[in-house]
Structure 1
Amino acid sequence: MNSGRMMNNTGEMRLQKFLSSCGVASRRGAEDLIVSGRIKVNGVVVDTLGAKVTGNEIIEFDGKRLSVYAKKYIVINKPEGYLCTRKDTHGRKDVFELLGDMDDPSIFHVGRLDMDSCGLLILTNDGDFANTLIHPSTSINKGYLVECDIPVSIRLTNAFASGLEVGDVHYKALRCELMEDESFVLVELKEGKKREIREVFKSFSYRILKLERIFIGGMELKSLHLKSGEFKLFSKEEITKLIYNGGQNGCSS
């Protein structure tokens, strides 16, 4: 088993760190699980702190065997100023820093939000799950709330919804609607191209003050009650149900 950077020089790590890396709980929460007698190592209950493991043992939580890189499904409210990358040569912040003990090198982002954008972002280490979400034949609609410096004209919303050329690229939104405050626009995309919304608004000479992803399929940011920078861990069944059966998409003005 590859447990990467969590091992010390002797090849061991604290049991609570192993548990947090599996997505069972935060490190503090993992300590509570140990003390409550819910963890077994090689068939023996470990209920005191300080135990160390290599990851080669049979480690169980409530009878279920764990592995360091168990599948994880994370939804984060990405703040502005964070990159969707693990490789940045300029020392800028990345979204994985926000995960703390929940992070491991196997986790990646599904799709991306640029550094100046915020809102819903899915992180996982399940490649099949990620491919299902982003594959053109099954990709999920995503919604964005755009705030501009001045009221937006219906000319832009009609053009984006009908389809338009910016340079050599064709852009078309599934939905582009003015909100009651006309400096806000709701945009829904199927397959978002790189910086699509920013390029379209720039072509009409609007300056975007905030670009926030507010839903992915049926999963809505407002329903998750995540503050900026916060995240939640889900099972595959839970996140799939949210995305495909989360309810009607939209945004109240």
Structure 2
Amino acid sequence: MAKKGRIPGKYTNNERRSRNDRFQEGHKAKNTKTPGSKEHYSKEERIAYKKSNPEKMRINKFISNSGLCSRREADTLISKGEIKVNGKVVTELGMTVTTNDTVEYQGKKLNPEKKVYMLLNKPKDTVTTSKDPEGRKTVIEIVRNACPERVYPVGRLDRNTTGVLLLTNDGDLSKKLTHPSFEAKKIYHVFLNKPLETKDLESIKKGVELEDGLIKPDAVNYVDNDPMQAGIEIHSGKNRIVRRIFEHFDYRVEKLDRVFFAGLTKKNLPRGKWRFLSEKEVRFLKSELSAK
């Protein structure tokens, strides 16, 4: 029953103030810094927090997270005495270590951070860097909340070039994919400002002498018999190489889309969206690298 003099469903002034106070307290609590939070703490603060609050895990998980092998294979290595923790050989399966411990295999220190591999269909007007001094949108902003690990783009795409871009925290894989000796295969869909003449198409096929040397595509041809569109397969990672090839023959590239990179395509991935690579795709990438 409602109190005398009170309209049912209404709050008194005291009740309203009390309710607002509780709301404000809850709001403040939600916006308080959480230890280790990426959004509120600097990189240095996060590193300091991790050192003072090391994560505990089973040693086979530590080894698996490093990308060396699976947990089952890690147990085999431990049993054989091939793993050292803080300089001492260990053989105890199931032992617990922390992220502050030094775990080694064949003299190499292992990094326990889980390896992450992401594929982004890069949109236009985004820069392929972690931060941009001019305040432009970066690819990292698109995937910022995808995972707790910090990922980086593998190679670069121009701000207005769209398409396949790999992001990862696997430094070894990134270094190999971008090294000239790996010759990562890339395919671009090129939209031109005017029809590409047959003689120019043939010249591009034979190779183009640019200011930084001869560039010979692996393949180049019209797309769907449309002379204003071309598909070009190339291994070179030189800056703006596709645009410069066509500019050499007085064509302006109106739109450039990378549709293939090192075996990865943007199939079923809308522009501006991302996804994690499957285990099969990661295995394929690594097998390709080991075969080189």
TM range (shorter): 0.5 to 0.7
Structure 2 residue 258 is matched with structure 1 residue 213:
yes
Structure 2 residue 235 is matched with structure 1 residue 190:
yes
CA distance in 2, matches of 1:13, 1:150: 51
Q: 2:116·2:168 contact (CA, 8 Å) conserved in 1?
A: yes
Change (3 A) 1:240 1:152: farther
RMSD: 3.0
User: Which is worse superposed, 152-161 or 197-206?
Assistant: 152-161
Q: 1:71·1:125 contact (CA, 8 Å) conserved in 2?
A: yes
Q: 1:132·1:139 contact (CA, 8 Å) conserved in 2?
A: no
Q: Which has the higher contact order (CA 8 A, sep 6+)?
A: 1
Partner of 1:249: none
CA distance in 2, matches of 1:243, 1:188: 22
Number of aligned positions between the proteins: 196
Change (3 A) 1:206 1:134: same
What letter corresponds to residue 210 of structure 1 in structure 2? K
Cα distance, 1:241 vs. partner? 2.2
Change (3 A) 1:86 1:10: closer
CA distance in 1, matches of 2:266, 2:147: 22
Structure 2 residue 60 is matched with structure 1 residue 58:
no
Cα distance, 1:204 vs. partner? 1.4
Gaps of 5+ in 1: 1-7, 18-53, 246-253
Structure 2 residue 167 is matched with structure 1 residue 123:
yes
Partner of 2:184: 140
Structure 2 residue 142 is matched with structure 1 residue 92:
no
Report Cα offsets for 1:184-205 as digits up to 9, x if no partner.
1011111231111111111212
Q: Any residues of structure 2 matched to 1:1-253 within 5 Å, and which?
A: 11=35, 56-58=54-56, 69-102=113-146, 106-179=150-223, 180-222=225-267, 225-235=268-278, 237-241=280-284
Gaps of 5+ in 2: 1-31, 40-51, 66-98, 100-111
CA distance in 2, matches of 1:230, 1:98: 8
What letter corresponds to residue 184 of structure 1 in structure 2? Q
Higher alpha-carbon Rg: 2
Change (3 A) 1:129 1:237: farther
Change (3 A) 1:228 1:181: same
Change (3 A) 1:189 1:237: same
Report Cα offsets for 1:192-245 as digits up to 9, x if no partner.
3111111111121212121000011332222xx110111111256433427978
Change (3 A) 1:230 1:165: same
Change (3 A) 1:191 1:93: same
Cα distance, 1:64 vs. partner? 5.5
What letter corresponds to residue 56 of structure 1 in structure 2? P
CA distance in 1, matches of 2:178, 2:162: 19
Cα distance, 1:155 vs. partner? 2.3
CA distance in 2, matches of 1:108, 1:160: 33
